[in-house]
Amino acid sequence: MTTGVIPGGHNPEPRPTGELMPQQRHDPAGQASLHVDTRTRSSVITARAAASFEPVGRSVATARSFVRDTLQGWGFADIVDDAVVLTSELVTNAVVHAGTHADVLCLRTEDGVRIEVADRYPEREVPLQGSAVNMGSPDREGGRGLQLCAALATRWGVEYTPTHKNVWFQLDLPERPVGTRAAGPSLPADLLPLADGRVRVAVVQIDRKGSVTAWNEDAEELFGHTSADVTGKPLTDLAAWPHTPGTGTGIAEALQLSRWEGSYGIRGADGRVTSVYASHLRVRDTGGEPSTVCLLVRDHERAVLQTPLRVPASDTGGSDGQSTDPFEVFIGSPAPDDLDGLLQRTVERARDMLDGDSAFLLLATDDETELEVRASTGLPSARQRFARVPVEAGPGRYGSARMPAVHEDLTAVPGAVPLLAGTGMRSVVTVPLKVEGRLTGSLGVAAEGPARYSNEEALRLQFAADRIALAVESARLGELERLRRGSLSFLVEASDLLAGTLDRDQTLALMAQMTVPTLATWCAVYTIADQASEPYLSYVLHEDEELIDGIKSLLSKVPPPDPVPTPGARVWTAPGEHAHQAALRSSMRSLGLTGGPTRQVSSGIGPTLATASAVGGETVVLPLVARNRVIGMLTLGKPTDEHFRQEILELAEDLSRRAALALDNARLYSERTAISQALQRSLLPPGTPHIDGVEVEVIYRAAGEGNEVGGDFYDVFPISDGAYGFAIGDVCGTGPNAAAVTGLARHALRLLAREGLSGPAVLERLNSAILDEGSRSRFLTLLYGEMRPQEDGSAEMKVVCAGHPLPLRLRQDGTVEAAAEPQPLLGVIEDLELYEQSVTLDPGDVLLCVTDGVTERREGTRMLGDDGLADVLTTCTGLTAGAVAARIMRAVERFASDAPSDDMAILAMRVPGLQKD
């Protein structure tokens, strides 16, 4: 698609028609032009937008978006829908049926817009003068474009050229009286909307990045933030957006729309959320920079900003002059895209239609056993959205939501309508919403006085409910489909995150972070170590971090929920009741009603009340079941008077199953890691002995994630008479079999050496013991030696190197040389002929012993090797044994960027230099 926008310019209309008849024009090429209406206005073109679309099916949708965006940008929202429909049909004719490119041109005038759609398929029959124009059947797949033009456009026409066919239509803006957009009747003062003494309208301006650039005095009064506090901060940091997975528009998206109205919350300086009704308008300055102006009032004062529904004049009355039922007017208007808006307008119209004090609408769950509160007006139950009541509230037809019911006085039948308990309503009429015989909801209107409604009002309300039921069900199914798509995406992402870690603490954190605030306001995770253990509170999270400590303290005082393995969410009332009692006690103490000191406790009432409010809504518990065992509970909560909707609970149940398996996997991994680490520690010496006259330093680094036992080992131990044994070895492979050989080698070395055997004899017997392991045997490279410090400050060593990297000797002058010769490794052949070599370390000399994880450190095709290790060792002259080992390890780690793939052990022994007098 190619587009171009040219602001300004003059209208090329009217095109010359000469003295021709309205339906024909002679062109030099002999073509003809069909004009259904040749009258034009002498208007000035103020803007143009053009685009070309390829002959493929997706171009139709692209053309619709192009026209919609163009007209909305011009402020022509009133005619966008008609223009999009007409453009869609005409572009379809061009790119699908004619198979050519489609050129779309939008021209803006003061009165409306003209849109031209041209194709490049001239081989058509030219209509003759006086012949009837056949525009095709409405049932045909193609050919409806001209019929729609005739039905919707103010003017339209068809023009032919040698290379193009051009269909154009013009849509004029509806004429409105100056200064009037919507009006209502004069009302007595007692019927006017209720507001506080002064209505404050917060004016907030947001730049293209979503940051606050202007914040007026009313905004400071409403929310407590000064202009200096919020200027430059994103509005999303302050907004509390009611988000459900897969539904709704986010605050960031709402700020990008040309115009938007709706409700959300603003978090004040005190941390509390104020519900507001907002009207957003996107504008641009003289430099073309866009921004959004937001007008905000408290939600109960929404009448100040809310745009009334515009009802066409033809719908305000019947043909006989009688007034139409206001509910029928609502039914005749297009239903909103969002279900909540449709339901809220439904209850408001139902209340007005029957002159009630309140109204409510409940939707049935899938199994038709419960009803969820989805919309209400005039009731405190507006704060109890998604509260559930049974469909069958009692015996008889008056206790069932499946039948119409009229209650003249609720005081005579307490509990007949659970939703109205404690609201002051006395008379009520309720009717079911049914689609194809299936209960989908219940609509009710109530009044404070008794005997307000009769069967006549019930029939009237039922008639209205029957007309709205299908629209409600359609919108509900659409919302449910969006929610399920969002839920599927949510679960896929959650599964990926949970599968990405085997750390128990991180798994607990992920579980909580995925539920808050998407599914709940706060979350607590209890874990159970084993069947004999009590549930333990392991993690708490709230969307407001300042409330986490208070909730954690509260839950620690409440007995944990019972670990019931039954699937599904169950209500847990203990936290809310305990928080209510704690808040009551704190309030009484602060007022001095308990006889205690007031001043000392008054400072704590704020956090106590905040915690009570945070957990005062519905709290549910979902079991975490893995491998047929309850390993914990996932607790989700809402703030005061809020409830969970059924779809959210079902999503939470799916999440809990995945989270339970991830948590159990993390537990098993942690146990395996702990066992491996304990076994690894048992294979290494508990410590290095202090040797007079010789410095000894060991560094050991195990590769992997800690769940595999390494094959490298070392040991330094006393033998007898001032002699010490030292060894460093590497068993082939890792895991239990390698660990068996490692343990055998280390303990056998100590036992055989202390029996007084020489080095070769010790290794020969160890070789026999390894071979005796049979299929579990592994070959072993081993450097073993005995060391005796001498009185002159030197140290005598006898070394046997059985297939191991050779030990390196660093002299005081910086030269490095091998201190032994290579001999056969252990665990391969039975008859070994080993010998030992003597080495004398003079004062200042260092003997360095390493495993092959050091010398075989790789970076691509490069390997550190024996030569590279020797080069590093030459730089260690004069360093202590600890400094030598540390420098070798740093050099090995820096040699390659990847994590080590093999265990590494470094044993450095140094004879200190002689002290000078």
pLDDT in tens, 438-483: 888 999 999 988 888 988 888 889 888 888 888 888 888 887 787 7
Least confident of 41-50, 488-497, 630-639, 792-801: 41-50
pTM of the model: 0.51
- pLDDT tops 50 at residue 538: yes
Please tell me the predicted confidence (pLDDT) of residue 7.
43
Q: Which residue has the higher pLDDT, 80 or 761?
A: 761
DSSP H/E element including 477:
helix 455-499
Please tell me the predicted confidence (pLDDT) of residue 737.
72
Distance CA 175, CA 698 (A): 91
- pLDDT tops 70 at residue 575: yes
337 pLDDT band, cuts 50/70/90, is low
Residue 389 DSSP class: E
The amino acid present at 436, given as its one-letter code, is E
Q: Which residue has the higher pLDDT, 906 or 312?
A: 906
Closest CA to 805 of 819, 815, 816: 819
- Identify whether the C-beta of residue 118 lies closer than 8 Å to the C-beta of residue 101: no
CA dist 672 to 68, 663, 669, 737, Å? 60, 14, 5, 16
Classify residue 600 as left (phi > 0), alpha (psi -120 to 50) or beta: alpha
Q: Which residue has the higher pLDDT, 869 or 10?
A: 869
- pLDDT tops 60 at residue 667: yes
Helices 548-556 & 605-614 angle (0-180, nearest 10): 80
Distance CA 660, CA 563 (A): 13
Closest CA to 887 of 697, 747, 718: 697
Distance CA 905, CA 746 (A): 15
- Identify whether the C-beta of residue 429 lies closer than 8 Å to the C-beta of residue 458: yes
Helices (H), 239-393: 251-256, 326-332, 339-353
879 pLDDT band, cuts 50/70/90, is very high
Instruction: Tell me the mean pLDDT in the region 620-629.
Output: 89
Distance CA 400, CA 227 (A): 54
Please tell me the predicted confidence (pLDDT) of residue 835.
93
Q: Which residue has the higher pLDDT, 711 or 326?
A: 711
SS3 at position 815: coil
For tokens 């309205």, what's the residue?
22
- Identify whether the C-beta of residue 723 lies closer than 8 Å to the C-beta of residue 788: yes
Closest CA to 636 of 519, 753, 775: 519
CA dist 9 to 45, 67, 172, 738, 760, Å? 6, 19, 19, 85, 102
Please tell me the predicted confidence (pLDDT) of residue 132.
45
215-263 confidence digits (pLDDT tens): 999 999 999 999 999 999 999 888 887 654 444 457 777 787 777 888 8
| Tokens found for residue 608 | 């106590």
The amino acid present at 569, given as its one-letter code, is A
Q: CB neighbours (10 Å) of residue 347?
A: 24
Average pLDDT, the chain: 79
**In the chain, % of residues over pLDDT 70:** 81
Please tell me the predicted confidence (pLDDT) of residue 31.
37
Distance CA 156, CA 39 (A): 10
Helices 455-499 & 339-353 angle (0-180, nearest 10): 160
- pLDDT tops 80 at residue 856: yes
Instruction: Tell me the mean pLDDT in the region 806-813.
Output: 92
Please list the residues that pair with 816 across neighbouring strands. Answer: 810
Please tell me the predicted confidence (pLDDT) of residue 6.
44
- pLDDT tops 80 at residue 182: no
Q: Which residue has the higher pLDDT, 133 or 584?
A: 584
Instruction: Tell me the mean pLDDT in the region 807-823.
Output: 92
SS3 at position 533: coil
User: If you write DSSP's letter for every residue of 542-610 in order, what string do you get?
Assistant: ESSGGGHHHHHHHHHTSPPPP-----S-EE--HHHHHHHHHHHHHHHHHTTTTSS-SHHHHTTHHHHHH
- Chain length of the chain: 917
- pLDDT tops 60 at residue 668: yes
Please tell me the predicted confidence (pLDDT) of residue 710.
64
Q: Which residue has the higher pLDDT, 195 or 545?
A: 545
Cα 479 → chain centroid: 19
User: If you write DSSP's letter for every residue of 65-76 in order, what string do you get?
Assistant: HHHHHHHHHHT-
591 pLDDT band, cuts 50/70/90, is low
Please tell me the predicted confidence (pLDDT) of residue 706.
57
Distance CA 452, CA 446 (A): 9
Please tell me the predicted confidence (pLDDT) of residue 914.
60
- pLDDT tops 90 at residue 808: yes
Q: Which residue has the higher pLDDT, 3 or 110?
A: 110
Residue 320: phi, psi to the nearest 5? Answer: -90, 10
| Tokens found for residue 708 | 């595999």
Least confident of 186-195, 589-598, 868-877, 907-916: 589-598
Cα 380 → chain centroid: 31
Least confident of 602-606, 615-619, 709-713, 723-727: 602-606
16-64 confidence digits (pLDDT tens): 333 333 333 333 333 333 444 444 444 688 888 899 988 887 788 788 8
Strand 619-626 relative to strand 358-364: parallel, antiparallel, unpaired?
unpaired
134-162 confidence digits (pLDDT tens): 444 444 444 556 777 777 788 888 888 77
Please tell me the predicted confidence (pLDDT) of residue 230.
93
Q: Which residue has the higher pLDDT, 114 or 299?
A: 114
Q: What is the C-alpha radius of gyration for the chain, rounded to an integer number of angstroms?
A: 42
The amino acid present at 768, given as its one-letter code, is S
Cα 322 → chain centroid: 53
Distance CA 773, CA 736 (A): 13
- Identify whether the C-beta of residue 547 lies closer than 8 Å to the C-beta of residue 614: yes
380-415 confidence digits (pLDDT tens): 755 466 777 777 765 444 567 788 888 888 888 877
- pLDDT tops 70 at residue 900: yes
For tokens 């009355």, what's the residue?
317
User: If you write DSSP's letter for every residue of 630-666 in order, what string do you get?
Assistant: EEEEEEEE-STT----HHHHHHHHHHHHHHHHHHHHH
Residue 844's Cβ-count burial label (10 Å; 0-12, 13-18, 19+) is middle
Closest CA to 621 of 667, 533, 579, 559: 559
Classify residue 246 as left (phi > 0), alpha (psi -120 to 50) or beta: left
For tokens 């307490």, what's the residue?
414
Helices (H), 153-204: none
Distance CA 561, CA 620 (A): 10
**In the chain, % of residues over pLDDT 90:** 21
Helices (H), 75-231: 80-92, 145-152, 217-223, 227-230
Distance CA 777, CA 754 (A): 24
- pLDDT tops 50 at residue 208: yes
Please tell me the predicted confidence (pLDDT) of residue 214.
94
Instruction: Tell me the mean pLDDT in the region 658-676.
Output: 85
Closest CA to 116 of 38, 152, 48, 168: 168
Q: Which residue has the higher pLDDT, 335 or 199?
A: 199
Q: Which residue has the higher pLDDT, 778 or 183?
A: 778
Closest CA to 493 of 515, 521, 525: 515
